[in-house]
Amino acid sequence: MDATDLARWQFGITTVYHFLFVPITIGLSFLVAGLQTAWSRTGNEKWLKLTKFYGKLLLINFAMGVVTGIVQEFQFGMNWSEYSRFVGDIFGAPLAMEALLAFFLESTFLGLWIFGWDKLPKKVHLACIWIVAVGTVLSAAFILAANSWMQNPVGFKINPERGRAELTDFGAVLTNKVALITIPHTIAGAFLTAGALMAAVAMWHLVRRPGRDTAAFRSAVKLGSWTTLVAMALLFITGDIQGKIMTEVQPMKMAAAEALYGTEQPAPFSLFTIGTLDGSRPVWSLDVPRVLSFLATGTFDGRVQGVNDLQAEYAARFGPGDYAPNIPVTYWSFRLMIGFGVLAALFALWALWAIRKGRSPAPERRGTRLLMWGMIALPLLPLAANSFGWIFTEMGRQPWIVFGQMKTAIAASPAASSGDVITSLAVYTLLYGALAVVEVGLLLHYARAGLPDVTPPPATESDEDRPLAFAY
Amino acid sequence: MELSTLWFLLIALLFIGYFVLEGFDFGVGALLPVLGRDERERRVMINTIGPVWDGNEVWLLTAGGAMFAAFPEWYASLFSGFYLPLLLILLALILRGVAFEYRGKRPAASWKRRWDWCIVFGSVVPAFLWGVAFANIVRGVPLDAGHNYTGSLFTLLNLYALLGGLTTLALFLTHGAIFVALKTTGDIRHRANLLAERLGVFAAIAAVLFLGVTLLRRATPAAVVLAVLAALCLVGGLVANRLPSRTDPDGRREGWAFAGTAAAIALAVASLFADLYPFVLPSTVDPVTNSLTVANASSTPYTLKIMTWVALVFTPIVLLYQGWTYWVFRKRIGTHHIPDEAAQMPAPGSPPGSRAAAG
């Protein structure tokens, strides 16, 4: 394994890990803002209790997203300096803007929200969590615009003298059609994740702690499950559009997603394959006729190009080389993304069904035991779907780091030795592993703890000496 | 003025902001076991920076992003060249950030002790290594014709750079002690004053030595003026830290003292950047061809123009709301302000009525 492979493993591990926390942060900050708004509007204490309860889970998760995000920003320069030199004129701007416009908002207003319960007027305090939520989406939009440029580079020209890509139209970068569809798709995925987490935790309480805060947890199951279902619908719509855009700008990725070697018209959608996916006849496969044609082109008899034709086309255009990504990885990650996402929506539906019309799942019933297992799986399913979605997107772009412009093989840092990269890979893996144990332990602890008491402290003490409403 | 020069100034400004702001929260974190004699005092210290440390850290992320956008060659050479020190800094910042958020989440003393060590490690290591890094930037490092770093870890650990590390560490410790004195009441405030007096002497000696050696190597008029002003501000701050407060007989003039150390850090960093210009990363090998300068490291004028507009519009907004946070949390805190631990710690199985509200 050379330094480039090690750097790729490091990018994969740190990015997938970072993106376990990001979607929860995005989705849950909006849901918590919604809960606090409900409290502000109705004065019903159950909303305040839920705000504080899910707010705590949000904060435990937020910290991990923040610290793992620092690694992401440094990593381009540390491991991918040739890439950074090549794209910096274009790719750096969204990163800088993400920090200036989004990170400052998120960190500052999150601090105000955490510590400001007794220091800010109620409305201002509520505005803080909304600003945090908007900040998380802004941040996602900038970084996805940057990533979309790697998938579909636009608004630039190559300067052969400097050997780099130079920005000619920043508006084109921000309105890249890949970015415009990837942003809603990713945000919808974030809501799928946060909704599933909210519903699952609340359902656990309804079953395990019957009679305690029932009304509040019923509301949370409904809010979480409906969020998950609506998010799934949006994921289907945006994913469908994304597929068509991908077919247009990265046809090889679409062909790889289907392990479609020969060009077909109409093309079937492969649900499942037993075999090597190397272009030889599969042992067994389940196909739905014409569906791939529809996914890729919007018509049921559209022509979908296969890997072999595209390989020949790219070799003629870019010179000799292997232009197909790792087919088994792209084929399976694409299916696992969809499968886990759909399963999450089904489990959310199950949760809604279990509490329909004021019912509550009886602890002694066999079905309830099964439901509990479903609820344990529910928050994990979208996390898996998100991870496979990113693995598909990034692996499907290979061998390119910037599609059609720069290959991954020449993008790593000449100054970073294999020893350097092995060291950092080992440090991150060990550290991230240990932090995962701590984080999950805390999340479970606070998720089990149930809703906090929200009676205000006695107002007898003078304002000056009153203990802080919240302190680390 | 060329846009690339403007961006050199803006990046200098971002690093100045970062070191002035995170400088004191590094100091507070590093002094946790020194000034915090018991759990309550340690919590007082952590809560003086609780609402603001994360926002302070974003100055670094913005500086890094701005460097990537405005000087991609600088970002690429620096980050890939200073690989292992940056890895250590990242490790430290990760542990520190998680520690602030997680240390209060379980009651066990062993849990808190472990996170306290993460905070100390996470504060001392970057406070030292940023000095090492900036000393090496000013001094220059071996670069090849492709601007790639060709030295090893030990190239970076030269005496001059280690002196730079000691300087930032001592400055941030002093700055942090004065911040604790500025933001607390009671016994801990008094002890922070006394500690700042002693640390301040070390900081002053280290800073004068380091800036002196820097200017002996290569001096520009602006760098000399800024360095002298930095030294004066530091001395002024340390004097203010000894003068009795006019409103509170127990206290010192901590506001002026803090302004003094803040200005000293800002001016010292400014002096380093003034000394560096027009280079961004000089090469010690074939300096004429291999060095990175404001001219050969920068992005295109088009990118810089867009970035300039964004910075002009949004930086004042950021400064406004970040300033507002400091105003919201302006009050001093003492041990009596720290809520009981049990009030924030849910214990599964206990009746819900026994717990008080917590964010």
The whole-number average pLDDT for the span A188-207 is: 96
CA neighbours closer than 13 Å in the CB half-sphere of residue A250: 32
Pick the more confident residue, A2 or A73.
A73
Those of residues 127-186 in B touching chain A at CB distance below 8 A are: 146, 148-150
- pLDDT, one tens digit per residue, over B84-120 is 999 999 999 999 999 999 999 999 999 999 999 999 9
Residue B359 has pLDDT above 50, yes or no: no
Q: What pLDDT is recorded for position A463?
A: 65
| Residue B349 in this model has a pLDDT that exceeds 50 | no
- Tell if the CB–CB gap between A472 and B76 is shorter than 8 Å: no
For an interface test with A, give the residue of B46, B67, B83, B96 to mutate (most A CBs within 10 A): B83
Q: Domain coordinates of chain B in residue numbers?
A: 3-194+277-344
Confidence bin at A88 (pLDDT 50/70/90): very high
Q: Which residues of A touch B348 (CB under 8 A)?
A: 445, 448-450
**Contact status of B310 with chain A (Cβ, < 8 Å):** yes
A contacts of B90 (beta carbons < 8 Å):
70-71, 74
Helices (H), ranges, A158-176:
170-174
> What's residue B352's pLDDT?
41
Could you tell me which chain B residue has the CA closest to the CA of A446?
Answer: B346
Which of A114, A424, A451 lies nearest to residue B352, judging by beta carbons?
Answer: A451
Chain segment A351-404, per-residue pLDDT in tens: 999 999 888 887 778 888 889 999 999 999 999 999 999 999 999 999 999 999
Helix (H, G, I), strand (E, B) or coil at A284: strand
Return the closest-CA partner of residue B281 out of B270, B273, B292: B292
Q: Is B249 on the interface with A (CB under 8 A)?
A: no
pLDDT at A319: 93
Return the DSSP state at B347.
Answer: -
Q: Which residues of A touch B66 (CB under 8 A)?
A: 96, 99-100
Cβ of A92 within 8 Å of Cβ of B98? The answer is no
A171-185: pLDDT as tens digits: 999 999 999 999 999
Distance from C-alpha of B279 to C-alpha of B180, rounded to nearest angstrom: 37
pLDDT band, residue A267 (cuts 50/70/90)? confident
What is the C-alpha to C-alpha distance for residues B195 and B13, in angstroms, rounded to an integer? 29
Return the residue in A104, A139, A429, A442 with the most chain B beta carbons within 10 A, the one to mutate for interface testing: A104
Q: Which residues on B lie below 8 Å from A85 (Cβ)? A: 72-73, 76
pLDDT attached to residue B355: 38
3-class DSSP state of B141: strand
Instruction: Provide the pLDDT confidence category of residue A458 given band limits of 50, 70 and 90.
Output: low
> For residue B243, what pLDDT is reported?
92
| pLDDT score at A268 | 85
Residue B101 in tokens? 């958020």
Residues in B closer than 8 angstroms to A73, CB to CB, are 61, 64-65, 68
The predicted-structure confidence for B215-251, as pLDDT tens digits, reads as follows 999 889 999 999 999 999 999 999 999 999 888 877 8
B 21-80 residues inside an 8 A Cβ radius of A = 43, 46-47, 50-52, 54-55, 57-58, 60-62, 64-73, 75-80
The reply to whether residue B65 touches residue A92, judged by beta carbons under 8 angstroms, is yes
Looking at per-residue pLDDT, the higher value among A259 and A226 belongs to A226
Considering the entire predicted model, what is its pTM?
0.93
pLDDT class of A294 with cuts at 50, 70, 90? confident
Residue reference for tokens 């991990």: A64
Q: Which candidate, A451, A448, A454, A367, places its Cα nearest to that of A201?
A: A448
Beta bridge partners, B333, equal B184
Write the single-letter amino acid at A417. Answer: S
- Banded model confidence at residue B165, pLDDT cuts 50, 70, 90: very high
A contacts of B328 (beta carbons < 8 Å): 112, 116, 119-120
CB contact under 8 A, B65 and A466: no
ipTM of the complex: 0.92
Greater confidence (A450 vs A280) lies with A450
Distance from the B212 Cα atom to the nearest Cα atom in chain A, whole angstroms: 31
pLDDT band at A298 (very low <50, low <70, confident <90, very high): confident
Tell me whether residues A112 and B325 touch, CB distance under 8 A.
Answer: yes
Report residue B237 as tokens: 């701050």
* A465 has pLDDT over 70: yes
* pLDDT band at A222; cut points 50, 70, 90: very high
Residue B278 tokens read as: 């027009």
Q: Mapping DSSP to helix (H, G, I), strand (E, B) and coil, where does residue A273 land?
A: strand
Residue A114 to residue B356, Cβ atoms within 8 A? no
**Looking at the predicted structure, is the pLDDT value of residue B348 above 50?**
no
B295 has a chain A CB within 8 A of its CB: no
Among B322, B18, B51, B41, CA closest to B172: B18
Task: Please tell me what DSSP assigns to residue B147.
Answer: S
Average pLDDT over chain B, rounded to an integer: 92
Beta-carbon contacts of A336 under 8 Å, excluding residues fewer than 6 positions away, are A384, A385, A388
